[in-house]
Structure 1
C-alpha cells in the first residue's frame, strides 16, 4: 500500500494536525468577524442611501423653481442693462450629465440585491441553532419478527443500534465512508470550496444535480442541528455550523457522530443499526465488502437498501471499493478479493404483504408485554407455510367467484388448540386497506352464535337426542323464521343444530333464558356487547371473527376461556428474554358430557348439515355455518384435531351478497385451506424452541429462491418413455401449445393470451418440450422442470379449480411475489 497523501490526515481516528485545527478556529473567528462587518456595512449603506436621496431631492426642487421662474417671465421682454452683471456674477447651476444618472442607477441595481443578500446571510448567522440541537425519540425501537420456526420474515420500526466509539470503529469502515463521501475530509475546514466548485462544474455539464458538494462535517451538522428543508437559509447555516464544529470537535468525533446518525435504509439509523439490520452483527465486526456496502448506502438509502435492491447495493459497493483504491486506503488486489466474497443477509428480501395484518397485532402485543427501550426480536406464533396457504386460498376464491357473488372481502384466522395464532388474513389486500377484518370488524354472527345456545342446553340436562318441534314461534313481538320458510316438525337437537333450524334455537333461548346464554358466551371468551333480547339466540349481536374462533377453540381444547396469543418470546440486547409466553393454566373448562355432546353436534353440521361443503376426505371435521339477514355476512368456523379455523366473507359497506351463506364460500375456503394445512402439519417439521431463542438461518443475498415460505417444490411428473408430443411448440396461450398442428392443453392451467403468451413464446424459442398424458391430464416438461409449474410460478396463468397441490402452490408463490398476473400495476 502506498503511503497516505500528506494532504489527507491519518485515517486511524487521531484527527488533523494542530495547524489544520488552528486554521479551523481562525475560520470560525473569521465567520464571527464577518457577521459584525456585515452589520456595519449594512448600516453604512442605509445612511449613504438616505443622504443620496436627500441631495437628489434638493437638486430637483432647485431645478423645478428655476423652471417656474423662466416660465413666468414674458417672452417679449428684453433683458435690462442692470441684470447683465448679475448673470455674469452668478451663473446658473449645471445639470448633472447622463453618465452620472446611469452610474447612480447601476450602483442601485447592484447594491440593493447585494444588501438584501448580505442581510439574508446576517439573519441566517444570527439565528444559528446550537450544535446537536436535533435529538431523536429515545423511546423509539425496532422489532425484528421471527416466525414460529425461527425464520426472520419482517421488521418494524426504527433501528438505532449502539453508538460507536473510536475503539469500535473498524479502519476499513472509516476509510470507505471518507473515500466515497468526502475525500478531503481530513484537510478542509468543514466547507470544501474545491469540492463545491467541482460539483457545480459537473452538475452544469450534466444538466442537473448529479453530485453534491457537502462535506461529511456539513452532513453531520445537518443531521444533528438543522431541519432537512432544502432552502438557501439552511445551506448558509450549514456552512457556518460546519466551521464551528471543526473548531470545537476533532475529526474523529465528527466522523463518529456522522456514522451514528446517518440513515442507511430499511429503518436503520446509524451504522451499527445498519450492520445488525443487514448482516446480523455489530458494526465493529463487519468485513471489508460489508463495510463498502454500508458506505455506499448513505447516498441513496431507500433505493439501495440491500433488502430491497441487493443488485444495486452490490454495484454501489464496487464503486466504493474503487474509490478506496484511488485514495490509497486499500490496494487493487484487496479490492478484487473483496468483490469476490459473498455478502450474506440475515433478513428476507421483503416482508410478505399479507403478513402485515398479523404484524400490526404483534407490534401492539409486543408494546404491551415488554414496553422497554431498545431494539427487540420477537419470536411470533405465525406459521409461514400456513400463512402463505391462507392468503392464496382467500385470493383464489374471491378472484374466481367474488364478482359473480358480489363478495369483495374475506378474513381468516387459524388457531392451534393451545390458542396460538398460526395464520391471519385481515382482508383481500393490505396495501389497499390496513383495516383488519379478523380483529377490528364487528359483524352479526348469525347462526354461528347457536354454539352458546346449544352448549347451555347440554349443560342443563338436554342431549343431542332430545326432541323439539320445528314450528311457528312468537316470543313477544318477535317471530323468527327459518331460512327456507318451512317447518320440519319434531327434530332431535343434533339434527336441528346441523340444519341450523332457527325456530328451535329461539325456543331453546326462551326456555333457558337469554342471561344463561350470555353467561356461556362470556365463559368462552366473548367480550363484545351482548344485548339481553330474544333475537340474541340467532346471533343478532355484533362480534369479531377472532373472538368467535377463540370460543370454538375453547370447546375443542376444553379451556374456558382459551387465551389466544401471537408471541412466544421477546428478546432484547441481553441474553435473558424480556418475555416468555407462560404455559396455560389448567383451570376452567366444560363438563365432559356437555363438551362431548357439543363436539358431536359440530361434526353433524359437516357430515350432513349446512356445512357439507367443508368436508375433507379422511379427516374428522366439525364446525358451524352462520349467515346474517339479507346475506350481508357469511361465516364458517371449523375444527380438526390440530386446527381451529374461522372465516368471514362479506363487503365493507355491509351490502348484500348474491345469496352467499356460511355453507357456500366460507365452507369452501375452509376445505381448501384445511386439506393442505393438515398435510403441512402432518410433516411434523421440527421447530426451534422459542424459549431458547435459537437464531434464524441466514438468507443468501441476491439469490432468487424458487421456493417461498409455505410453497413446496413441485412433485416430480412421470413422463412415459413414449411421449405423446415432443419438440419446439408454438404458443397459443399460456396454457395451450401446438406441436405441428396438434394442440396440447396443460392440465391445471387456465391460459392467458397477449403479452404473457408472447413472453412464454420467447422463453420456449428453440427449446424442446416433452409432453405426456398422466393421471391428472397432459403434463409437459422442459429441461427436467414441469412447464405448468414454471408458468404458474412466474404469474403467467391461473391455476384451475381442479389443479393438483403442486400447481396451486406455484400459483401461491406468484401471488406472494406479485409477479405476472398478480403484479399491482396490472
Structure 2
C-alpha cells in the first residue's frame, strides 16, 4: 500500500540541473492525454458521465448558444452602428447652416386674375394657383393625402420608424414595387430646401430639417405648407392650381372623388396626370379611396358615390377662353408695376358671362361651318364705350394654341377700314346723301374693282358704304388725301403704322382686331376715344391698391354731327347692305363687313348702344377660305354673340344726336362737276330712313357691368351742333354754277 501510495503521489516537475547526464522525462503516470480522466494504477480510463466543463462546452455549441451569440453581437453591432450613424449625422449636420438661420423660403408669387364679378379667371405664376388655408380647402383633400401618403402624420415626430421598416421590407421582397418611407414632413423639407438627388447627405439633411419643422410649426401648418407647394403634374403646384387645372374649380369645392384623384397624383405626378393618362389617374384614385376607408375617413357608401361620378377628363394644357385674357393681363401687369415679387390680385374689366357666350358663339360657328368653309380659326373682342374689354377670345382652343389672334395678330381689315375713309370725307364737307359715280376708275397703275365686278352708276355715299363699293372708297381717298385718312384712323384708335396711299381705302395696311374694334367705339359713345384696357385695379391680397386705371375723361375725337351721320350710314350696312346676317331683333345695330383678297381674312365689326364687337375668321397660315366674306361667318357669329349678350336687356337706340342733314352743312362740300350733275339726275331726297330717336337711359343690365351708355358723356369739344343756319355755309348747286353765284 505504501508503495502504491507512493506511486499515486503527484510528482511536481522540476527544472533542476541534469544528474548524471540523464534527460528530463515524464513517467507513464504523468503522460495523461489532455481532457482525459485520471487513470488509476495506470489502467484504462474510467467510463461515466461527462464532467461539468464538458457539459458546458456542449451546451454552448447548441441553439441557446447561437441565440446568445446573436444577441451579443447584435448589441455590439448596434452600438457601433449607432456610433457610426451619430458620426455621419454629426458630420453632415455640421456642413449645414446653423439652425438659427433656417427659415421657410417664400412661396413664388401668384397673380390671381378675377372678373368684374370677382370670379377667378386664372392664376398666373410659377405655382399656378394661390395658397389656401387648411380650413379653406375641401376637407377631403387633407384626408386623402394623409391616408395614402402618411397615415401616422399626426402621431410621429417628423420621421416614422414604422414606415421606414415597412418600406425596407417591401423593397426587399421580390415582385414588390419601390416604396418610400418618407413622411409628409420629410417630403416638405425636401421640396423646400433640398435638391432631388438621392444621396446619404441629402437624406440626413432631410431628417434634420424634418425635426426642425416639427419643432417650429404645428402639424396643421406643416400640412398646409405641403398641400400648397407640392407638385401635382401638368405645371400645377399646390392643390388650388391642380384643382383649377384638372377640374376648372377651386380646391374649396372639390368632391371626394376629385380629392382622391389629386392625392393619387403625388406618387407620380407626370405619369398619372389625368391630362396624360385619365385611366391611370382614375385607377390610382380608387386605391386612395380604399386607403381613406381603411383609415376611417370615409364609408363604403361614400366610396360607391365617388366611383359613380364621371372621371376627370382634363386637356393637356390650361383651357378656356379666359386664358387668353390672363396672358394679356400678365403683359399689362408687368408694364404697369414691373416685376411681380409678391402675391397680387388683378381686377379686370372682363364679364365672365359674356366671355363664355363669346367662346360659345365662335366654337358653335366653327363646328357647324368651319370645315366646309375651310376656316380653322376665329377671334372675338367686345368692348364698352369706355374701351373696357368685356370679352376676348383669342382663338378656337387655348389648349391647342396660346397665340392671341384678337390682340397680337395683325392682318388686313379689308373693307372694315372704310368707315375711316367716310369719316374723312364727311369732315371735309361731304354728306351721306352726296353722290359719286360707281364706274371703272384708274389711280396710277391701280384699277380697283367691286367685289361683284359690277358698276352701279351714280350712288349716294350711304349706298356706297352699305354695299361696300371699292371704286367709291378709292375715289374718296383721292379727294380727301390718304394722309388725312391715316390721321383720322389714328385719332379714333388705330395704333399700327398705316401706309398713306390710295389702296388704304380697301384696308391694305395691317391692324389688330382689338385696335380696329376700339376705333369703332367712338361711333357708339358719342365721339369719344375708347382706349382698350382690361386691367381695372391691381391690389395686394390684403387690399392695398397698387394701380387703378382712370378713363373717366376721354378726349373727343369726332363731332356729334359726324357720329350721327356715321351711325345712320353704318346702320344701313346691317339693314340692307353686306351685313344683313348681323341683324339683331329689337336692337338698333350698325357695323361694317371686311374681306381681304382671295378670302384670306373675313371680319365684321359692329355695335349697339351697349357693346362694340369685332369678329375675325381665317387660317393661321394665311390660306384662303372657301368664299367666306365678312357678311358670312363673322356676321353670323357676331349676331349669335350679341343676341346672347343682350338677352334680358331693354333695347335702346344708338346714343348721340340723331342725324340731321342741316347740321352737316357747316362746311362747303367739295364736289366735281360730274358729281353735281349726277346728283341732279339722282336726287337723294326721300331715300333715307327716319333719323334714330334720341337716346334714353337703358334699363338695368341684368348683372352685366355698366355700359358706356349709362355713364354721362362729357361735353363736346369738336364741332358745334348749336350753330345757327346763318352761320352754316350754303351748299353749291348746279344753278349756282350756271348763274355764276
Which of 539, 542, 565 is 1:574 aligned to?
A: 542
**Residue aligned with 1:667, SS:** helix
Q: What is the TM-score with the length of structure 2 in the denominator? A: 0.63
Residue 413 of structure 1 deviates from its aligned partner by 1.2
Residue 496 of structure 1 deviates from its aligned partner by 0.9
User: Deviation per CA, 1:82-123, whole angstroms, max 9, x where unpaired?
Assistant: xxxxxxxxxxxxxxxxxxxxxxxxxxxxxxxxxxxxxxxxxx
Look up the match of 2:703: 686
Which shifted more, 472-481 or 148-157? 148-157
Look up the match of 2:518: 550
> What RMSD over aligned residues (CA atoms) do the two structures have, in Å?
4.9
**Residue 367 of structure 2 corresponds to residue 399 of structure 1:** yes
Tell me, in whole angstroms, the C-alpha distance in 2 between the residues paired with 1:467 and 1:150. Answer: 52
Tell me, in whole angstroms, the C-alpha distance in 2 between the residues paired with 1:651 and 1:269. Answer: 35
Residue 251 of structure 1 deviates from its aligned partner by 3.7
Structure 1 residues 220 and 150 mapped into 2: Cα distance closer, same or farther (>3 Å)? closer
Tell me, in whole angstroms, the C-alpha distance in 2 between the residues paired with 1:440 and 1:134. Answer: 46
Tell me, in whole angstroms, the C-alpha distance in 1 between the residues paired with 2:421 and 2:259. Answer: 65
Contact 1:144 1:154 in 2 (8 A): yes
Look up the match of 2:574: 606
Structure 1 residues 220 and 591 mapped into 2: Cα distance closer, same or farther (>3 Å)? closer
**Residue aligned with 1:662, SS:** coil
> How do 1:783-794 residues align onto structure 2 when only pairs under 5 Å count?
none
Which shifted more, 500-509 or 475-484? 475-484
Contact 2:185 2:222 in 1 (8 A): no
Look up the match of 1:63: none
Residue 513 of structure 1 deviates from its aligned partner by 0.9
> How do 1:320-331 residues align onto structure 2 when only pairs under 5 Å count?
323=295
**Residue aligned with 1:156, SS:** strand
**Residue 624 of structure 2 corresponds to residue 656 of structure 1:** yes
User: Deviation per CA, 1:5-56, whole angstroms, max 9, x where unpaired?
Assistant: xxxxxxxxxxxxxxxxxx99977642168x8xxxxxxxxxxxxxxxxxxxxx
Residue 367 of structure 1 deviates from its aligned partner by 3.6
Residue 470 of structure 1 deviates from its aligned partner by 1.5
Give ranges in structure 1 of 5+ residues lacking alignment.
1-22, 36-124, 282-288, 326-331, 691-826
Which of 362, 367, 373 is 2:329 aligned to?
A: 362
**Residue aligned with 1:649, SS:** strand
Look up the match of 2:166: 198
Which of 576, 579, 585 is 1:617 aligned to?
A: 585
Contact 1:221 1:238 in 2 (8 A): no
Tell me, in whole angstroms, the C-alpha distance in 2 between the residues paired with 1:444 and 1:316. Answer: 55
> How do 1:43-62 residues align onto structure 2 when only pairs under 5 Å count?
none
Residue 419 of structure 1 deviates from its aligned partner by 2.0
Q: Give the number of equivalent residue pairs.
A: 553
**Residue 601 of structure 2 corresponds to residue 637 of structure 1:** no
> Rg larger in 1 or in 2?
2
Structure 1 residues 677 and 260 mapped into 2: Cα distance closer, same or farther (>3 Å)? closer
Residue 240 of structure 1 deviates from its aligned partner by 2.5
User: Deviation per CA, 1:298-323, whole angstroms, max 9, x where unpaired?
Assistant: 65778699xx9999989958845864
Look up the match of 2:87: 30
Contact 2:189 2:206 in 1 (8 A): yes
Residue 258 of structure 1 deviates from its aligned partner by 7.4
Structure 1 residues 593 and 423 mapped into 2: Cα distance closer, same or farther (>3 Å)? same
Look up the match of 1:239: 203
Contact 1:268 1:274 in 2 (8 A): yes
Contact 1:420 1:566 in 2 (8 A): yes
Tell me, in whole angstroms, the C-alpha distance in 2 between the residues paired with 1:135 and 1:536. Answer: 63
Look up the match of 2:399: 431
Contact 1:186 1:251 in 2 (8 A): no
Tell me, in whole angstroms, the C-alpha distance in 2 between the residues paired with 1:176 and 1:612. Answer: 57
Contact 2:415 2:507 in 1 (8 A): yes
Give ranges in structure 2 of 5+ residues lacking alignment.
1-79, 307-311, 651-699, 708-741
**Residue aligned with 1:579, SS:** strand
Q: What is the TM-score with the length of structure 1 in the denominator? A: 0.57
Tell me, in whole angstroms, the C-alpha distance in 1 between the residues paired with 2:706 and 2:479. Answer: 50
Tell me, in whole angstroms, the C-alpha distance in 2 between the residues paired with 1:570 and 1:641. Answer: 29
Tell me, in whole angstroms, the C-alpha distance in 2 between the residues paired with 1:486 and 1:563. Answer: 39
Structure 1 residues 674 and 185 mapped into 2: Cα distance closer, same or farther (>3 Å)? closer
Structure 1 residues 608 and 280 mapped into 2: Cα distance closer, same or farther (>3 Å)? same
**Residue aligned with 2:615, SS:** strand
Contact 1:130 1:225 in 2 (8 A): no
Structure 1 residues 253 and 633 mapped into 2: Cα distance closer, same or farther (>3 Å)? same
Tell me, in whole angstroms, the C-alpha distance in 1 between the residues paired with 2:104 and 2:282. Answer: 28
Which of 410, 413, 432 is 2:381 aligned to?
A: 413
Tell me, in whole angstroms, the C-alpha distance in 2 between the residues paired with 1:654 and 1:290. Answer: 42
**Residue 667 of structure 2 corresponds to residue 667 of structure 1:** no
Tell me, in whole angstroms, the C-alpha distance in 2 between the residues paired with 1:636 and 1:174. Answer: 51
Contact 2:159 2:210 in 1 (8 A): no
Contact 1:28 1:247 in 2 (8 A): no
> How do 1:156-305 residues align onto structure 2 when only pairs under 5 Å count?
156-157=124-125, 158=127, 181-182=149-150, 194-202=162-170, 207-209=175-177, 211-216=179-184, 218-229=186-197, 234-245=198-209, 251-252=215-216, 260=225, 262-263=229-230, 265=232, 278=250
